[in-house]
Amino acid sequence: MTRTWLVILLIPLVAGAADVVPPDEAFGYTVTADADELRIDWRILPGYYLYRHRFGFESETDGVVLDEPHIPRGKKKVDEFFGESEVYRDSLRVVLPYSTGADGPTRMTLVLKSQGCADIGLCYPPQTWRAEVALPARVATADTAPGGVDLMALLQDEPVETVGEFLHPDEAFRFIAEMDGDYTLSVSFDIAEGYYLYRDKFSFATDSGLVQFGAPRLPAGVPKTDEYFGETEVLYNRAGLSVPLSRASPDAGDFEITVGFQGCAEDGICYPPMTRQTAVILPAATTEPPPEFAADTPVSEQDRLAELIRSGNLGLVAASFFGLGLLLAFTPCVFPMVPILSGIIVGQGPDITTRRAFTLSLIYVLAMAVTYTAAGVVAASLGQNLQAFFQQPAVIIVFSLIFIALALAMFGTYEFQMPAALQNRLNEMSNRQSGGTLIGVGIMGVLSALIVGPCVAAPLAAALIVLGQSGDPVRGGLALFTMSLGMGAPLLVFGASAGHLLPRAGAWMTAIRGAFGVLMLGIAIWMLSRILPDAVTMFLWAGLVLMTGIFMGAFSPLPENSDTRHKLAKGAGLIAVVYGILLVIGAATGGSDPLRPLHGSTLTSSGEARPHLEFRRIKSLDDLQEEIRLASASDRGVMLDFYADWCVECKKMEKTTFESPAVLAALGDTVLLQADVTDNDDIDRALLNHFGIFGPPTIVLFGSNGLEQKNLRVVGYMGAEEFAAVVRAAGAQ
């Protein structure tokens, strides 16, 4: 011990030579109080540590009685000063229960004793600190329940004094939440004598991005026939629960946890469900994640792209997202922009030049790119899904009518069937919207971005993740803008070539205008398919195809000495009529896919239901957590599908991917859940925001431990074979 105290006496000299700080800097602390416990949080500088066995706590205030402190386990250390002991680094929380009388003081003086050392080999002398702590006021309750307890007051955030024979819930059900190792949260309940907790009423949630909870591991309960819940299991005395968790990084930190539970008094009152919040110190991880968390090491595509946006060279970010936009240009959600732009160019007449066509195309693409970028920035900053807003039935109907009006203008309907005054007004409107001015073209680009724009895909999700999490509008906005330009690049090529290839005069021009009029009507039906029943949509497609076949001359006799053009037109018209008839038959017999009109109809099903996934619908985060808990209890994984009626690619996955035998086999006994976010209400947005999801289609997979397998999250459409491989990978982890 002589050597020890010599080192202590030399602290000032050593501190000057080796930058050793005073103990009040090395071991900072804060004290907070709630109804019945004090929380002492230490922040320990790197290179320093505190001894577990050297803590001491005293009250210097009359009327405040301290109970035994709850001190978490420390790290084992063979110390030159105290031999084998337990120490703490980085951070530490000690929970100190206390009690006061009904008229107890509102402030107290807490005496804290501790001792710590520095890694360089010196030990500070024992330290004594005094902290002035404000205590919450206590409020007496009225006799409004059996035993003289106000049940509503029992659930208020402010503590109430125990009245009559029943305890306040915070006194009946005390708990401590602390880390037990690097990847397990330990929650210990101390249940008062004569009280019990329901085993199936626990819940654990956090808004922190540092950790994600798995399914809790609950102790065995005692069977009980309960007047409220019938046959159930309850917990008495002490109950230790553990919650596995995965970490975003090995770094130290802290997070808030919300613990939900419900309990009763024997032969007395039953408390309503309650939640309590507490903070948990997360020490730096010193071990590798356990095998069940190893699957979280790889990152998903959208997270990988998000990291590229955050830290990559801006030139590389721009080039990468331009290329990704090129790939998105050929998806079903972007393809309808081709006939829109083509209709704009055709509406200019036969004398349009290639330069003029390219200029119109450029204005259209830039307007679409700027709008899409601005909408993404706003959506990420507000946490709102603008995609959902612009897919409301009223909005879809209005813009479908616009495309119908454009189609009628292409057909020349206004010239022959409208009164002169109305005809002039409609022609003026049509020309303005069809690209008669650059402003009109820009308007169509804006509308296309909002209404006909692309579905959620990994590149879009990555940009929105960066915008939402880091608030960096430059990098996130750059990624969105270059991606939009990539989506528009094929439109530039197509638009410029259309100006070069369009015929200069004659019947050809009328035929081309008619063809683009049909495409405009097709866009209107495609948009309405998001809100109309499948049968109605099928009949609309049938009508469009049949009328197209008739106008192409399917039933008109060929003139003598007909040229090849007339024969090809008549043949194409007959094919269209046959296809239209198949659409009618399919619609009348239960078909729902215009590309496969008889698929799934009663004509081909032979009375047998075709294989498909059977989802269980959930609405809220609470619904999901309960389903995950039940699935984990039976050692089953969970698949959660985010769906909306207006999501085109959601329906495509239902009709292709989810009907694949390979997908059905890969899922096995996986619990299938579906969240319908069509309404985009507050509950839907809360569920989406919990996972950081910006819209459907998105599929989230959970392991049998209740943890999401983030590296396997599916964003956007995915084909059957690729999706089956993802599901098999989830089952193997």
Query: pLDDT per residue over 254-266, tens digit each?
Result: 888 889 899 988 8
Q: Which residues contact 457 (CB under 8 A, 6 or more apart)?
A: 328, 331, 715, 716, 717
Residue 2 predicted with pLDDT over 60:
no
The span from the CA of 617 to the CA of 672, in Å, is 9
In a domain, 514, yes or no: no
pLDDT for 349 equals 63
- Sheet containing strand 184-191, edge to edge, reads 173-179, 184-191, 238-247, 211-213
**CB-CB contact of 583 with 597 (8 Å):** yes
In a domain, 513, yes or no: no
Q: Could you tell me what percent of the chain has a pLDDT over 70? A: 78
For residues 638-656, give the mean pLDDT. 86
The span from the CA of 401 to the CA of 395, in Å, is 10
* 551 half-sphere exposure, CB direction, 13 A CA radius: 14
- Rounded (10°) angle between helices 458-470 and 301-311: 50
Q: Are residues 558 and 696 in the same domain?
A: no
For residues 376-381, give the mean pLDDT. 70
- Beta bridge partners, 674, equal 617, 641
Q: Are residues 143 and 212 in the same domain?
A: yes
Residue 52 predicted with pLDDT over 50:
yes
- Beta bridge partners, 676, equal 643
Q: Are residues 357 and 431 in the same domain?
A: yes
Q: Are residues 153 and 215 in the same domain?
A: yes
Residue 722 predicted with pLDDT over 50:
yes
| 187: nearest Cα among 143, 144, 217, 155 | 217
In a domain, 429, yes or no: yes
In a domain, 266, yes or no: yes
Place of tokens 């095998």: 291
**CB-CB contact of 46 with 99 (8 Å):** no
Q: Which residue has the higher pLDDT, 436 or 268?
A: 268
pLDDT for 469 equals 56
pLDDT for 424 equals 55
Q: Are residues 93 and 183 in the same domain?
A: no
pLDDT for 426 equals 44
Residue 350 predicted with pLDDT over 90:
no
Q: Which of 11-15, 100-104, 141-145, 629-633 has the highest mean pLDDT?
A: 629-633
pLDDT for 466 equals 64
Which of 565, 592, 608 corresponds to the end of one domain? 608
For residues 196-220, give the mean pLDDT. 84
Q: Which of 3-7, 451-455, 505-509, 573-577 has the lowest mean pLDDT?
A: 3-7
Q: Are residues 568 and 699 in the same domain?
A: no
| 523-565 tens-digit pLDDT | 888 888 878 888 888 899 999 999 888 888 888 888 777 788 7
Q: Which residue has the higher pLDDT, 98 or 497?
A: 98
- Beta bridge partners, 640, equal 673, 700
Residue 582 predicted with pLDDT over 80:
yes
Q: Which of 312-316, 384-388, 627-631 has the lowest mean pLDDT?
A: 384-388
Q: Are residues 456 and 568 in the same domain?
A: no
In a domain, 512, yes or no: no
Q: Which residue has the higher pLDDT, 414 or 276?
A: 276
In a domain, 423, yes or no: yes
CA 461, 648, 346, 446: dihedral to nearest 10 degrees?
Answer: -40
In a domain, 96, yes or no: yes
| 422-476 tens-digit pLDDT | 445 545 554 544 444 677 788 878 877 776 665 666 667 667 666 665 556 777 7
Q: Which residue has the higher pLDDT, 271 or 139?
A: 271
Which of 82, 108, 136 corresponds to the end of one domain? 136
Which of 256, 291, 326 corresponds to the end of one domain? 291
In a domain, 649, yes or no: yes
| 373: nearest Cα among 463, 466, 254 | 463
When pLDDT is cut at 50, 70 and 90, the band that residue 395 belongs to is confident
The span from the CA of 203 to the CA of 222, in Å, is 19
Number of independent structural domains in the chain:
5
Q: Are residues 131 and 154 in the same domain?
A: no
When pLDDT is cut at 50, 70 and 90, the band that residue 371 belongs to is confident
CATH classification at residue 724: 3.40.30.10
- Beta bridge partners, 160, equal 139
Does 72 sit behind a cis peptide bond, omega within 30 degrees of 0 on the bond before it? no
When pLDDT is cut at 50, 70 and 90, the band that residue 510 belongs to is low
Place of tokens 């599908």: 641
Neighbours of 510 (CB within 10 A): 14
- Residue type, position 728, single letter: R
pLDDT for 214 equals 79
Q: Are residues 150 and 129 in the same domain?
A: no
Residue 59 predicted with pLDDT over 70:
yes
Q: Are residues 500 and 367 in the same domain?
A: yes
Q: Are residues 499 and 545 in the same domain?
A: no
pLDDT for 235 equals 94
For residues 73-102, give the mean pLDDT. 82
- Residue type, position 299, single letter: V
pLDDT for 454 equals 54
For residues 285-301, give the mean pLDDT. 63
> In which domain, by residue range, is 310 found?
303-504
Residue 8 predicted with pLDDT over 80:
no
Q: Are residues 670 and 687 in the same domain?
A: yes
pLDDT for 360 equals 84
| 122-133 tens-digit pLDDT | 888 889 989 888
Whole-number mean pLDDT of the chain?
78
User: Cα dist. 415→194, 347, 411, 538, 547 in Å?
Assistant: 88, 14, 9, 31, 20
Residue 299 predicted with pLDDT over 70:
no
Residue 651 predicted with pLDDT over 80:
yes
Residue 247 predicted with pLDDT over 90:
no
Residue 417 predicted with pLDDT over 60:
no
